Chains A and B, each alone.
Chain A
Amino acid sequence: QKEVEQDPGPLSVPEGAIVSLNCTYSNSAFQYFMWYRQYSRKGPELLMYTYSSGNKEDGRFTAQVDKSSKYISLFIRDSQPSDSATYLCAMSFTGGGNKLTFGTGTQLKVEL
């Protein structure tokens, strides 16, 4: 079993839709949860960063962490064609030397 599981997609939605992206994990030591966006042929770019459980909102993006279920989500409201990319969840823990463990990424396409 992988430490971090993520549905690879592809996920195709119409413009304006609400998108839900999810990851599950098995290591209860993870405390820091991140979402990265990766455009084709580019490096990952940090979107959201959350510590422990709870919600965090930034513009059209909301990150949720449920440590009791070992489940994290990223919601994108009013999705735009420019949101078309691969979304990677990543996690780390204190004492882990800042090492990130990534999911496989979900490919998202927002269509006009």
Chain B
Amino acid sequence: EAGVAQSPRYKIIEKRQSVAFWCNPISGHATLYWYQQILGQGPKLLIQFQNNGVVDDSQLPKDRFSAERLKGVDSTLKIQPAKLEDSAVYLCASSLLSQTQYFGPGTRLLVL
């Protein structure tokens, strides 16, 4: 069974630029999550989708971050414009109805 796929693996941009990350969850997983992991910290949930609907986006900085999962499968997370403090690893995870979340390898973002 293929795991959660993410791309790109690494991205370097300058502040005020925009960037987008892509995630393809495990086949059949209805729930998809985007987390932000700043160096030395645990992952923080940004947004959770159930199929193509948003379940929780309470910690998503909506003035600059957006996410979509139009067909209920893969998802895109966008940052526009990026700030220095957005430098982090962006993790995507997916799950069935159980509590078990399976994580992808993450995208490491560096904002200069």
Interface residues of A (CB under 8 A from B): 4, 6, 8, 32, 34, 36, 41-46, 49, 88, 90, 92, 97-100, 102-105
Interchain pairs with CB closer than 8 A, number: 55
- Give the docked Cα–Cα distance between A43 and B102 (Å): 9
Interface residues of B (CB under 8 A from A): 4, 31, 40-45, 48, 55-56, 91, 93, 95, 99-106, 108
Could you tell me if A43 and B104 are in contact, using CB atoms closer than 8 angstroms? yes
List the 4 closest A-B pairs by CB distance, nearest first.
A102-B42, A43-B103, A44-B103, A32-B99
Could you tell me if B105 and A104 are in contact, using CB atoms closer than 8 angstroms? no
Could you tell me if B99 and A98 are in contact, using CB atoms closer than 8 angstroms? yes
Could you tell me if B105 and A100 are in contact, using CB atoms closer than 8 angstroms? no
Interchain nearest-CB distance for A72 vs B (Å): 14
